[in-house]
Structure 1
Amino acid sequence: MRAEDVRRAATVRRCGWLGWATMRHDRWRDLGLTALVLFAQSAPFLVTRPSEGAGWPMVSWLPVVLSALPVAVRRRWPASCLLLSAIGVGLYGLAETAPAQPIWYGPLICMYAVAYQSTRVIRIASLAVTALGMLLTIGSLNTAVRELSTWSAAYALGALTRARRETALAAERQAAELAAARERARIAQDLHDILGHAFSLMVVQAEAGAAIARTDPDRAERAFDAISTAGRDAMTQLRTTVGALREPGRAPQPTLADLPELLRQVEDAGLAARLAEHGPRRPVPAQVQLAAYRLVQEAITNVVKHAGATSVEVVLDWRPGELAVTVIDDGRGPDPRRTGGHGLTGIAERVAAAGGRVAHGPAPAGGFRVEAVFG
């Protein structure tokens, strides 16, 4: 299948009835262009008369038709149409009684089509055959140079259009690859956040449950219930993430409304959690809500894993034109030997993708503080 056919089929698949309508528009445009070429090359037969006789013989007009009709199907068979159109030009030159005119319009359009959509081998062969034919049939050097320049210009226009199309397609492919890379990074970050949070809570609860299983059976039972809840929640979020791969944009993503449930899981792990909100809540984009949720999730995961904290507070500060999301714990604070792991890097990347900025460091009263501001 030729590149042009592939492009047309892709257009129909991508645009549906709009692509089909575009193809029908191309056909009507080709027919109109063919009629225009035929009329332009036939005009001398209508407005002039031979020196002898009442009119031009019909046989002299047939090469004009042969040179013009291939324009209608040049998109499908460009090289064959160029050959037929050139044959028409040659036959017109052999006609004994015909208006003195060049009938180049059809062949030049077909040459443009060859340069635009044919393969490299066909393009080179067409150029070589055209140049050889002109040099063999045209006696005047000036005429040969003029015609070669004209045909070369038509070829150059087609080649330039082809180059622009290939550049545009390359840019589209690059954009698609970048979008795919960003999507893979987003999914990897989602999996990191979901599994890291769930496994951290499950490990803490499992260790606590094993330690108190004999001395406090009720508390051990609650710990194992929390493990089950964290596991089910992780499975639900994993299904959501995988569902987004199958049907992008349809799978529901966590929002700010899911923060209380997230903090409840943290409380089940034995960490006092509090959600505070300042200012009137207002609608924010889904991307911002997801980024804010993941920030809180990752920050709390770090608290559970590294901070040795007893409490954590999440603050939503609805400022004029901004939303600030802050997570503060009362743990041991940052380890000076640690320069930041993948978690904080992932938080910064996710927040930046949503148009926000991140700051983190020691909290004023001790512990650690992570804050994101979305404009």
Structure 2
Amino acid sequence: MIVGAVRGRWRLPAWASDAGAAAVVLAAELGLASYGLGARVVLLAVAGAGLMLLRRRYPASVAVMAGVLYLIGTQPPEYDAPVSSALIALYSVGRHASGRLAIGIGALAVMVGAVRSGAGWEGASLASVLTVGLSPAAPVAAGHIVRLRAELLHRRQQQAAELAVREERRRIARELHDVIAHHVSVMSLYMGVARRTIPLDPGRAEETLRTGEDTARQAMAEMRHLLDVLRTDGEPVDDQADVGVARLPALVEESGNATLEVAGEAVELPTTVDHAVYRIVQEALTNTRKHAAGARSRVLLTYQPGLVEVEVGDDGQPRPGDVGVGLGLAGMAERVSLCGGELRAGPSPRGGFVVHARIPLVERP
């Protein structure tokens, strides 16, 4: 993409390219004139140069007129034909005209060239005949090849842009899923606790409701941040959200029935890894509340040289029908893959469910 941007930035404007072609025709025809700079030679050179300014808009007409100038130039007594203008015009047909029109102009140029040189075919070798006869088709073919390459490059750029849009949509879907699923499940948990404790302990129920209210505010804050990201039109954003390893204790605490253990010497994580670790823990705890209500969870964050590991396990029993990979696990797998890591998720031999991610802190060669 960077190379494409540089190419686009340094590409000459169309008028400058056409003016350059006109200058080349003047330099070639006036500088290499075999019979001196007679009036006819100068007029043919100027006319051929003028046609170069129209070669993009009217490639077929310019090619025909350049051919006429070429035939005029081959008439005796002076045989100074404007070859350069004819070659550039034929190239422009292949570059800027449709495929069928380019083939038609190329075939016409070959026939005219063959008829015009027909008197000299006697005794000539087959290679010489083919070289002279097919030479007008070479610039047309060259122009058409350049056109096909340009169209292929444009198509690849479009595909890359579409892929980037799809990747961004998947990223936003993961963010929305993580934010909404986690906070809604936490609020549901606290509302249930408050409903059961209101008759027995109104004070505790009030505290639980306040916690649920704080969770709702946090969900709204993260949702607003996502909307702000969508409104930035590609401008850099300082933070992905208020997420990261530093917030894991608060995340585990608000989950209600989970513990956090940290092993190894903590190091500062890259932003993408820091974000991914938080979202993995968040989604795993959310899945525990959804599929194994009441189960206890254990979060283990391990720092090792060059990598970080995070494991979230529970001791619950899955509900009947909870089989397969949902959006949550798929989102976790995508996050870990983008960081160059590995994710394993499945039932634990000791019972319950375990999610284990292993993420390197340096890029793999």
TM over 0.5: yes
1:250 aligns with 2:237: yes
Are 1:87 and 2:68 matched, yes or no? yes
**Which residue type is aligned with residue 354 of structure 1?**
C
Identity %: 31
* CA shift in 2, pair 1:73/1:282, >3 Å: farther
Q: Which has the higher helix share?
A: 1
1:105 is matched with which residue? 84
* 1:206 maps onto 2:195 in alignment: no
Residues 77 and 239 of structure 1: CA distance in aligned 2, closer, same or farther (over 3 Å): farther
- Decide which of 147, 158, 182 is 1:197's aligned counterpart: 182
Instruction: Pick one of 39, 44, 47 that aligns with 2:27.
Output: 39
Q: Distance in 2 between matches of 1:366 and 1:112?
A: 73
Aligned to 1:7: none
| Change over 3 Å in CA distance of 1:205–1:40 after alignment to 2 | same
CA contact (8 A) 2:110 2:137 kept: no
TM-score, structure 2 normalization: 0.81
Deviations 1:115-164 (A, max 9, x none): 11223464355346545655675654849965541111111111112222
User: What are the residue-to-residue correspondences of 1:253-264 with 2, within 5 Å?
Assistant: 253=240, 254-264=243-253
Structure 2 match to 1:370: 355
Of 307, 316, 332, which aligns to 1:332? 316
> Structure 1: 5+ residue runs without aligned partners?
1-13, 50-54
Deviation at 1:29, TM superposition (A): 5.6
Name the SS for the 1:23 alignment partner.
Answer: coil
Quick one: distance in 2 between partners of 1:141 and 1:214? Answer: 113
Match of 2:333 in 1: 348
CA offset digits 1:50-92 (Å, max 9, x no partner): xxxxx65313431133223433553454334324422321332
Unaligned runs of 5+ in 2: 122-127, 361-365
Q: How many Å separate the matches in 1 of 2:11 and 2:168?
A: 32
**SS at the partner of 1:332?**
coil
Change (3 A) 1:166 1:273: same
Among 295, 318, 322, the alignment partner of 2:307 is 322
Check conservation: 1:241, 1:251, Cα contact below 8 A.
Answer: no
Question: CA 1:44–1:202 in structure 2 vs 1: closer, same or farther (change >3 Å)?
Answer: closer
Q: TM-score, normalization: structure 1? A: 0.79
Contact 2:313 2:352 in 1 (8 A): yes
Decide whether the 8 Å contact of 1:41 with 1:103 is kept in 2. Answer: yes
| Correspondence for 1:63 | 44
Alpha-carbon spacing, 1:282–1:141, altered in 2? closer, same or farther (3 Å): farther
Alignment coverage as a number of residue pairs = 347
**SS of 1:282 mapped into structure 2:** coil
Question: What is the RMSD of the two structures over their aligned residues, measured on CA atoms?
Answer: 3.2
- Amino acid paired to 1:226: T
Q: 1:272 aligns with which of 257, 274, 281?
A: 257
The aligned counterpart of 2:151 is 166
Letter in 1 for 2:155: A
Q: Distance in 1 between matches of 2:250 and 2:51?
A: 70
Contact 1:322/1:374 (8 A) holds in 2: yes
